[in-house]
Every structure is written in C-alpha cells, then in structure tokens.
Amino acid sequence: MHPDGLQNVATDRQLGRREHSENFPVALKLLPAAHREALHAVYGYARTVDELGDSYTGDRTAALRAFMVDLDRIWADEEPDHQVLRRLGPVVRQHDLTADPFHHLIQANLQDQTVTHYRTFEDLLGYCRLSADPVGRMVLGVFDVHDPETEHLSDLVCTALQLVEHWQDVAEDCRAGRIYLPQEDLTTYGVAETDLDQREATAQLRDLMNFETARAAKMLDEGAAIVRRLHGWARISVAGFVAGGQATVRALRRTGGDVLAQQARPSKVDTVRLLVKAVAR
C-alpha cells in the first residue's frame, strides 16, 4: 500500500484544527518559529498515526505497517512518500532523533487493532509506554534533552496525560469497542461494562472514575518536577503539557465522576493560569 493512497487520513489543515481543540498548542504559540515548526512536525506525525489506527476505513493494520516502512526511509537517508514524513525528516536529522519512539507509536496503534481490554493497571501502563511516553521523548529530543531522570519524569507526565484522556472518553471508547478501565478495577468497584455506555454514571462508576482520576493526578504531580529541570523554551513547552493535564484533572473532578452525563473539558483560562504557575516555580 502506497502511503499517498491513504486518502482518508487527516490533511495538514485538519491536523491544524485539531491542535486548536487540544492542549498541545497552549505553550506552542509562545515558541520561536524553529521550535514551533519542529513540534508541529512531531504533532503531525503522532496525529497521523492515530488517524490510521482509529479512523482509516481500509485495512488499518496494513496501513500502519506501510506507514512504518515509509517512516524508516528517514533513517535510511531516503525521501519518504507521505507529506507528514517529509516534514518530519529534517527535524529528525537536525536533532538526531532515534527511530524507537516513532516506532512505538505505530506499535501502540497496531496493538489497538487486536487488544480492546486491559486486565490490570500494569497492563494499561505497558500500553501507555508505547502510546504516550514516546511523544515526550520526541519533544525532549527537539530541545536536545536526553538525560535519564528528565526522561523518567517525562514518561510520568505523558502516561498521566494518556490516562486522563481515556477517563474523558470512557463512553466514546466503549462505543468504539475499547475499554481502557482495567478489568480488575471494574470488578473491585462493581461496575459492569454495560454501565459505561449509559446516559449517566452509576454511583459505583462515579467512585471508580474519582479513584482513577486521583491516581492519574498523583502521577502527573510527581512528573511535574520535570519543569524545574528544564530551561528556556523547553521549560515553557513542557510546562504547557503539564498545565494542560492539570486543567483536565480539574475538569474531571468537576464532573464528580460522572463522565457520561458531563463532558470533562479543560478550561483554557485554567490551562493558562496553570502554565504561568508552573513556569514561575
């Protein structure tokens, strides 16, 4: 399958609109053009992989594998076919980014084609190591930051961001046939899978969602120490991700755990205030 044949993958304009509907661009707008364009390239790659895994109307597994073949042309000093990868190539070469994080995102989406439930929280964390943590490694790479402790904190932040995104989208994911709430937690709180696609949450589901939100918030708070380890534009950029996650936690808490009846959407005002607070520390 030729990558340019993936006709229903989001265009650059559609990807741009999605940036404005997500937490990603909050701090991005403050960055110099070179950093902003590099992060746009990384974002475009991540969103395109997600589109192939979630929305492509053909054989998604084949499409993802074809995209990985095209991706590898970057490290083979060849020109990729897909426009998103052509945009990514100069960023990879300028910052000497390794292929592993980019491969892991594709592997996560390949996993989504066959794995729809996670038995334990540890199983879910294993998925997040493929689907979320690589994005943080890419962002740090754009700022030429590679030390292990900073990368560890980045992983905590990215996993927490992935978790709160899942807790925002419980009903939507359920309708798509995916349940990210660990099966052991559903059992512990007495929540049936059929409870996840109702108009409002049961008391048991509200208790479960409050627990999951608190666990993700604790992880995010621990990872937030990364901001103090960074300087300059890297500090502002990563603080934007942290602030976006903290604003989402606040939005989830405002629902009282009923993420079915209420949309847990973060306030832009909250996000900006938390960004300023994080950078000023």
- Domain of 166, CATH number, reads 1.10.600.10
103-157 residue pLDDT tens: 999 999 999 999 999 999 999 999 999 999 999 999 999 999 999 999 999 999 9
- Domains identified in the chain, total number: 2
| In-domain check, residue 4 | no
Q: Is the pTM of this model over 0.85?
A: yes
122 shares its domain with 233:
yes
124 shares its domain with 101:
no
Last residue of a domain, one of 64, 96, 114: 114
pLDDT at 272: 87
Last residue of a domain, one of 86, 114, 142: 114
| In-domain check, residue 215 | yes
159 shares its domain with 281:
yes
45 shares its domain with 102:
yes
Each residue's pLDDT, cut to its tens digit, for the chain (281 residues) gives 444 445 445 444 444 444 444 445 456 777 899 999 999 999 999 999 999 999 999 999 999 999 999 999 999 999 999 999 999 999 999 999 999 999 999 999 999 999 999 999 999 999 999 999 999 999 999 999 999 999 999 999 999 999 999 999 999 999 999 999 999 999 999 999 999 999 999 999 999 999 999 999 999 999 999 999 999 999 999 999 999 999 999 999 999 999 999 999 998 888 888 888 888 87
pLDDT at 160: 98
pLDDT at 158: 97
74 shares its domain with 165:
no
| In-domain check, residue 243 | yes
| In-domain check, residue 2 | no
110 shares its domain with 122:
no
| In-domain check, residue 1 | no
pLDDT at 21: 43
157 shares its domain with 18:
no
Q: Phi-psi region for residue 169, left (φ > 0), alpha (ψ -120 to 50) or beta?
A: alpha
pLDDT at 6: 55
77 shares its domain with 166:
no
| In-domain check, residue 262 | yes
Last residue of a domain, one of 52, 79, 114: 114
pLDDT at 186: 98
**Can you give the residue range of the structural domain that contains 30?**
9-114
232 shares its domain with 123:
yes
| In-domain check, residue 97 | yes
166 shares its domain with 261:
yes
| In-domain check, residue 196 | yes
pLDDT at 3: 46
126 shares its domain with 236:
yes
98 shares its domain with 134:
no
pLDDT at 147: 95
